[in-house]
Structures are given as structure tokens and as C-alpha cells.
Amino acid sequence: METYLYDYLTMLRVERNLSPNSILAYSRDLNRYLVFVQKKFGLPNISKIKQSQIRSYFRHLNGQGLAPRSISRAFSSIRSYHRFLETEGVTEANPTQMLEAPKLPKRLPSVLSVEEVQSLLEAIPVDTPIGQRDAALIECLYSAGLRVSEICDLGLTDLLQEEDMIRVIGKGNKERLVPLGSIAMKRLDQYFKHVRPGFARKGPNKGRIFLSRNGRPLTRMTVFNILRKWSQAAGLRKAISPHTLRHSFATHLLEGGADLRAVQEMLGHADISTTQIYTHLDKEYLKEVHRTFHPRWQ
């Protein structure tokens, strides 16, 4: 069965300028979908896919215990793919057109308190090369609210030291400038002076700022592991990821009185409604405290 998947992924890369990670996610979602409909229904042509068969695929995903967010992402990928096939004239109709997207449970992002962030950073010994690197890394994540892919891709030319800012290439290859606090700049300066030159001599680094012991750019998984290591050392019981620090960055700015549109710009959100979720955190936190500790809560 001709799927035209290669043409679709090429369009995402060339016309929509999606990142390699986003294209990989689309590719995985769609390959799983196409393998399923081919094996289960033996379709001779992609134009023969019916709405009922797509529903069958989502029942299959649900039966596998896939997280609602993963199912929702798969739906978005499949709908976009069929829209492309219709636009290109490969199919006469889009079988996903009348399907409703899976409902996602409302979930507020997990955040750290200011005190928890402080505990996390104080747990890192800065008298070792790895400690100096990790302190600079985590200070940058929290100071600028970066995504994990953004911190991994941060290059030497992206650091604008005279302006105390960094240039960030975000989703859709969109560029933004984000201020860095004085503490993060100090940690970076120490890392550049005492650690990075020794690491950089050991391997190809593509001009990235944050490197591993062997001189290679840090991977996303390495950053996750670094955070897990130091959060455990700090005695924090929450599951902490780079996105937890990003959420904390936004929440603490808004709690301090920052303008919502300024926070939107620093986070690199295309739509302000994405940023507005952080304005609800105070109310939800108060209700959670009341629910947990008030003696008359049933």
C-alpha cells in the first residue's frame, strides 16, 4: 500500500519547518497507525481507509493503556496526515473530518516553590567540574524557562553576555531573546573558565554550551538524569523534569507581578492561551491546601 508518508514528512520539514524531534514524533505515530490498519484490514489503497477503521485504531490504543495525552497527539498526527492526503489529491475525502478529538483531562503543571528550587541548587557541589556544569545548566533552565531541547541546542554564539541574554531557537525554528539572571550568568562564567575548555578538548561538540565529560553535547535524557540526581540529593519528593523548572519559571514570574504577554514572549508560546494556564495555579493551590487540611472538607 502506497502511503505517501515520506512526502508528508518532507512537507513538515520544508514547508512547516518543524524540528527533527517533532518530525520523528509524527513519523512514529503514523507508522504505528499505518501498520495497524494494513494488518487488521488489509487495505489495498490508503484512500480506502474509513472512519470506522480509524475509530478501531483508537480503541486499540486505549486498550493498550496509552496515556490520554499520547492518544491525543496520535489523533492530531493522523488528522493532519489525512488532511494532507486530501489536499494533495491522493484521497477524495478526509475520513477524520467528522471525528472528535479525544478529550484531555485538565491538568495543571507541576511546579516547585521558590524554596524547593533553592534546595535543588544548593544540593549541587560546585567544587567539582561536573557540579559546576550542572549548577550552570539548572540555573539556565530555571532562569530562562527553557525547554530541554532548547538547552541542549544552546550554542556559544547564542550567549549575548553584554546584554545578559540568550538567543533561543524554539519550536518551529522560531527565534526569541530571553534575559538571564545575574546568578545564572555567574555560574555560566565559572563553567566557561574552569570546566568547558577541558571537556571540549575530548570530543566533537558542535559549538554547544553544555557538554558531557567526553566533550559531546548533552542529550535530552542526560539532562533528565542530571535533574533526577540532584533532586534526590536535595530530598525533593516530586518528580522533577526540565519542564518542571520551565513551569516554575513562569509561575514565579506571574506570582511576582510579571505581565502575561512578557511571560508568553519569554516562553516562546505562539498563543497566549497556553500561557494563561499559569494564572490559575494560585487558585488551585489554595483549594488544594483547603481540601487537604480543613477539618470540614468531605
Is residue 194 among the annotated active site residues? no
The answer on pLDDT for 282 being more than 60 is no
| Lowest-confidence pick of 6-10, 81-85, 225-229, 277-281 | 277-281
Q: What per-residue confidence (pLDDT) applies to 285?
A: 55
The domains of the chain, with CATH numbers, are 5-87 (1.10.150.130), 114-291 (1.10.443.10)
| Lowest-confidence pick of 219-233, 239-253, 255-269 | 255-269
Is residue 147 among the annotated active site residues? yes
pLDDT confidence bin for 290, thresholds 50/70/90 = low
Exposed / middle / buried, residue 162 (Cβ in 10 Å: 0-12, 13-18, 19+):
exposed
Q: What per-residue confidence (pLDDT) applies to 1?
A: 62
Q: What per-residue confidence (pLDDT) applies to 246?
A: 92
Q: What per-residue confidence (pLDDT) applies to 294?
A: 63
Q: What per-residue confidence (pLDDT) applies to 51?
A: 93
User: What cell does 165 get?
Assistant: 541574554
What is the rounded distance in angstroms from the CA atom of residue 224 to the CA atom of residue 287? 30
Cβ partners under 8 Å of residue 203, min gap 6 = 211, 214, 215, 216
Is residue 40 among the annotated active site residues? no
Candidate list 79, 83, 171, 216, residue with the active-site label: 171
Give one DSSP letter per residue of 178-237, joined into a string. Answer: EE--HHHHHHHHHHHHHTHHHHHTTS--TTBSSB-TTSPBPPHHHHHHHHHHHHHHTT--
Candidate list 32, 186, 220, 243, residue with the active-site label: 243
Q: What per-residue confidence (pLDDT) applies to 94?
A: 93
Find the mean pLDDT for residues 102-128: 86
Give one DSSP letter per residue of 242-287, joined into a string. Answer: HHHHHHHHHHHHHHTT--HHHHHHHHT-SSHHHHGGGGGHHHHHHH
Find the mean pLDDT for residues 118-142: 96
Q: What per-residue confidence (pLDDT) applies to 108?
A: 62
Amino acid at 293: F
Is residue 216 among the annotated active site residues? no
Candidate list 208, 246, 247, 252, residue with the active-site label: 246
Q: What is the CA radius of gyration of the chain?
A: 23
The answer on pLDDT for 223 being more than 70 is yes
pLDDT confidence bin for 100, thresholds 50/70/90 = confident
Candidate list 79, 176, 269, 285, residue with the active-site label: 269
Q: What per-residue confidence (pLDDT) applies to 74?
A: 93
User: What cell does 9 get?
Assistant: 514528512
pLDDT confidence bin for 217, thresholds 50/70/90 = very high
The DSSP symbol for 169 reads: E
Mean pLDDT across the chain: 89
The DSSP symbol for 47 reads: G
Is residue 283 among the annotated active site residues? no
pLDDT confidence bin for 200, thresholds 50/70/90 = very high
pLDDT confidence bin for 152, thresholds 50/70/90 = very high
Candidate list 82, 133, 147, 196, residue with the active-site label: 147
Let me know the angle formed at the C-alpha of 67 by 64 and 220, rounded to the nearest 5 degrees.
Answer: 115
